[in-house]
Structure 1
Amino acid sequence: MIHLIYVKNIISRTVGGTFQELSFAVRVRNVGFGKQVEVHWAGENGVWQVTPAEFRSELPDGEEVWVAETAIPLTRQSAIPGNIQFAARLTHDGISHWDSRQGQNYTLDADSGIVVLEPVDMRVVGCRPRLAPGMVALPIEVAVRSAVGPEAVTVHWTTDGWATQHATQAHYRRDHWDRTVGSNARNPNRYGWEVWAARIPLQHAYRVEIAVECRARAGQFWDNRSGRNYAARRGTLKVLTLNLHTYQEEDQLRKFARVARAIRERDIGIVCLQEVGENWNDGAGDWASNAARIINSHLPEPYHLHTDWAHLGFEAYREGVAILSRYPFVYTDSGYISDSRDPYDIHARKVVMAQVQAPYFGRLNVFSAHLSWPSGGFYPQFERLHQWAAEKQTPDVMGTLLCGDFNIPAGSEAYRAIVDTGDYEDQFLKVMSGRVFHKIFRERAPNALDLLARDGRIDYIWLRQGNRLRAIGAEELFTDHCYGRVSDHSGYLVEFEPR
């Protein structure tokens, strides 16, 4: 259920001070959500500490890699841990599983570098899945068992899915740790492991995949993460759509703070809101009470905000739509898509549109929409939205997203009308049920929409087909079990990467 992969124990000496850096990589069985992975360790003082691990990557056969890291400073008041003993624990549904070397605990001397605990001769260590903003070169460290007689270590890599590939030679230096972190650790260490290092020139690539080859006296060895390759990428694009229900819940300020908390914790870049209320004030509105403005004010760094209102809602509010974006607007627009423009008519419907410039994604056209139900004007409203989006789809636009409350049940005839355009695809469905998505949007199988009979959604994130975005994750937010209810709607989050 849980097995330690490698451990790193280094005492670094830099201008920032002296630190003992500990890193533990753990292989765990994916037993489901809610699991906890942590490393228990103690230094020479015998005081046990617990360091939580975080998810790093998936492995074949239902396994995952988690990593726990900590850095302990040397100060006048406290010593560093020195030699350590340690064990790893996986907890799920109240049941714990340990890798503690059959109860004896693992041990590792201070400043001893890296030791691999699996029965392999080579392992890539410390490869993080996220490329930091502005990073133009990726450092790679490879631990090799000295006994195999390594002669050359080569990092094979690609930034375009192996359409083209490159090879970078790693280098072995006895003073590796002194050069990198000012450590006295030996290379190789007394445990029989040596570190080879390379730097991959990323420039402005979004994603890189890596496999490592070692040629040694004992033969040739590969580490390609069990056939999946090591991978690192820039940040993804997360898009959320949520109907706020125009001030109809109790304790509105707490509700808005909860929405902002989810935006922050889920690292959401673009938020499309509907039923965005503000006090009617005889039709003049009241910016201080605007729901999108209040949510934005709760964010650590305010987003770019574009909003407009369409009609009187619940007899007391100007009701409209909004877009919040971490990324700057290139331009914004808004307009009616309904026949009616009467602010006292609930079927007077506006859509707001923003073109945003997202790093590594390029220009994206985002629409936040709240359409009427089919008997109230959905069909002509969607036709106008469809035409508007088509007019804005220029060659420099990487993706067009239609987000919001469409007031049509998944699988209904109105849903079929969108499918039949052949232009837009349901991204939440694509991630959450690829088989059903394929039958509806690829095979166009007869009666395929019946598979959505129990879906229950009326809120969607539609992506224009052929655009250069790929949905890789999705989540339903603001349910009883995820942040709690903030509306009579759930929020729908989809995560994208560029194709």
Structure 2
Amino acid sequence: MKILTLNTHSWIEEAPIEKFELLLDHLFTEDYDVIALQEVNQRLDAPCIKFPMTFCQVEHQVSLRADNFAHCLVERLREKGLSYYFGWQMSHIGYDIFEEGNAILAKKPFVAEAITVSPQVDPHDYRTRVNLVATFVTSSPKKIASCHFSWWETKTKGFAVEWEHFVQRCVSNSQDVIVCGDFNNPALSEGYQQILESETLRDSYQLAKTKQGEATILKKIDGWEQNTTPLRIDYIFVPDKTVVTRYQRVLDGEHSPIVSDHFGIQIELEK
């Protein structure tokens, strides 16, 4: 199984159409089984469209708009001969003009669930966080999540609270879940250590038999304006005892073109 996670920063990057095309080419070439995307945007003023047959809705699904970044990827990949089921749900309003959320693309159909992990629920509050979970009926792993968490504040605010809510809803009741995304907590930080306190999850970077690349941001970006050093804040956490044959940083300007302010992570799991 081959999995990608990427914070797309979609439609916000300079030369967004060019970077969309570069990402599209990468996805087609790599032929991933599952793709977890964060900061998947659609403009508030874009027209709403009917849900495609391949769209996996969540309860209280927000309308899909014509420029939804995940939808555009899926449609273009289909034209090239690569078909995906996909789900998306809004988390909050971004930059005053976008409905921002998380998406999952998968070659197999799935049941989608949106999990609000933040105490905030107002979509106009950027602190509102809604993660997307795909449950597969006929394959393993049973669940894959695309997540975008807040920064560490204290043990009772921000990431710490969001992670505990997520664990209660998704991790504690499952021995077979892969958690992907932008965690906004650098490796070895308090937030990272909190994740590893879960007895069922391990960092795929640490488990990988072979690995290339580490940091997923190199300098200051939105949300990390004071950052001056390379950081690993994007992860794929896998069930304990998972065999990770390969871990590679991608879309980083070395192995493939840069398409976002984050680099992507690609892992391969033993079948």
**TM norm. shorter chain > 0.5:** yes
Aligned with 2:240 (options 461, 465, 470): 465
Match of 1:140 in 2: none
Aligned with 2:82 (options 263, 278, 301): 301
Aligned with 2:108 (options 316, 319, 327): 327
Residue 232 of structure 2 aligns to a residue whose secondary structure is coil
**Distance change (3 Å), C-alpha of 1:283 and 1:404:** farther
1:52-451 superposed matches below 5 A: 237-281=1-45, 287-299=65-77, 300-329=81-110, 331-356=111-136, 362-375=140-153, 377-390=158-171, 392-393=173-174, 399-431=176-208
What is the alpha-carbon distance in structure 2 between the residues aligned to residue 347 and residue 486 of structure 1?
Answer: 25
Task: Provide structure 2 residue ranges, at least 5 long, that are not aligned to the other structure.
Answer: 49-62, 212-228
What is the alpha-carbon distance in structure 2 between the residues aligned to residue 272 and residue 428 of structure 1?
Answer: 17
Summarize deviations over 1:187-207 as a string: whole Å, max 9, x none: xxxxxxxxxxxxxxxxxxxxx
Report if the CA contact (8 A) 1:256-1:294 is conserved: no
Code of the aligned partner of 2:205: F
TM-score computed with the length of structure 2 as normaliser: 0.79
Residue 165 of structure 2 aligns to a residue whose secondary structure is helix
Greater C-alpha radius of gyration: 1
Task: Provide structure 1 residue ranges, at least 5 long, that are not aligned to the other structure.
Answer: 1-236, 435-453
Match of 1:155 in 2: none
Kindly indicate whether structure 1 or structure 2 has the higher relative contact order, using CA contacts under 8 Å at least 6 residues apart.
2
Report if the CA contact (8 A) 1:428-1:493 is conserved: no
Report if the CA contact (8 A) 1:246-1:319 is conserved: no
Code of the aligned partner of 2:201: Y
Tell me how far 1:483 sits from its aligned partner.
Answer: 2.2
What root-mean-square deviation, in Å, do the aligned CA atoms of Structure 1 and Structure 2 show? 2.3
Structure with a larger share of its residues in strand = 1
Summarize deviations over 1:344-378 as a string: whole Å, max 9, x none: 111100011111256xx535200110000012610
**Distance change (3 Å), C-alpha of 1:377 and 1:353:** same
Match of 1:478 in 2: 251
Tell me how far 1:247 sits from its aligned partner.
Answer: 1.7
Summarize deviations over 1:53-109 as a string: whole Å, max 9, x none: xxxxxxxxxxxxxxxxxxxxxxxxxxxxxxxxxxxxxxxxxxxxxxxxxxxxxxxxx
Tell me how far 1:336 sits from its aligned partner.
Answer: 0.8
What is the alpha-carbon distance in structure 2 between the residues aligned to residue 391 and residue 315 of structure 1?
Answer: 35
Code of the aligned partner of 2:132: V
TM-score computed with the length of structure 1 as normaliser: 0.44
Code of the aligned partner of 2:193: R
Q: Percent identity?
A: 29
Report if the CA contact (8 A) 1:347-1:372 is conserved: yes
